[in-house]
Each structure stands twice: as C-alpha cells, then as structure tokens.
Amino acid sequence: MTFRAFIAVEVPFSAELEKFSEAVKASGTSVKSVDLANIHITLKFLGETPEEKVPAIEKIMGEAVAGIKPFRMNMKGAGAFPNLDRISVVWAGLEGAEQLAVIAERLEKGLRPLGFEPEKRKFSPHVTVARVRHSPNLRELAETVRDWELGEFGEVSVDRIILKKSVLTPLGPVYSDVATASLG
C-alpha cells in the first residue's frame, strides 16, 4: 500500500495570519485558502510513498535533525510565487529559518537513494496561505500582498519534524502523523 506523504514542521494558529488570510480572500481573486488548523512548513513533499519505506524515512529524518537544537523562527513578511505579476501561491515568510534549510537539504540527500526525486527548486522556507484558482482581480490580490509585505504573524517553535499522511477529500486534505523525529 502507498499513501500521499510529506515531511513538515507544524505551525501554531496565529490571529495575525488569520487576518492576512481573510484579506487575501477579500481581494476578489478566486483563491483556495489553507485551513489554518493545517498550517505547516513543508520540508519535503514525497508524494505516493510505500508503507514499507516508513522505517527508512524515519531513520533519515532522525539523521536530518541530528545535532540541531530546538529553535524559534518568526513568521514575517508576505509574498507570492512565482511573483506578484503571476501569482499562483500566496505565502508568509520565515525569519531565522537557516536551520530549517539545513534540515531540508539533509532530507533531500538522505531520501534520494530511496527513490524520492530531488526538488527542482531551492528550498524556500515559507508558510502557504492560499493558492490561486484562476486569475481575475490579480492586481487587487497583488496590492493586498504588498499591504502585508512587512506583516508579522507570530513565532514558530521547531522541536521536531513530522512525516505526514495526506488524504485528499472534497472538503480539503486531512493530515495524520506517521512518524516524528525530535531535534536536540
């Protein structure tokens, strides 16, 4: 059996992030907002993952966090991928995420021998707030994002990374924890 999987850091609820999400929805662009109860930072998307690989993935997760003590980051700033002229994803930035980049790089290297394709883009630490469904009113959405470019959305404490199972439903994805690796 396989399951849709990714490795992530959980992000606590933030009232400021909720305000930003509401502003994005109010821009008039058709967006799919991320459920704030499911907010996370994806370190590595695995896709369809055979259950028998879980022990090896868990071992690699432990190696990826080895020697890294728990740390804190600030959710700060807002932007869009690929850019504000062609928005497909609206995000909140992360300040102080250097250790996260180290973990993501270690995951990439460790998971490659298990058959997981390396990411085509460099790791860019962020929290996805919304995805654009189609593009009317993109100018208004870009203005909303610009209004929040210096926004501060709270703190994220990182003390573990989690292998998550993702089940897609008509109401949105449902996540469950499969394995955890603690920092420190």
Tokens of 47: 């896709």
* Nearest residue to 111 via CA among 6, 16, 29: 6
For 45, half-sphere exposure in the C-beta direction (CA atoms, 13 angstrom radius) is: 7
**Tokens 């996805």 belong to which residue?**
128
**Which residue among 49, 100, 107, 126 is the active-site one?**
126
Spatial distance between the Cα atoms of 46 and 49, rounded to a whole number of angstroms: 7
Residue 134 a catalytic site member: no
**Which residue among 20, 24, 29, 40 is the active-site one?**
40
Which residues are catalytically annotated?
40, 126
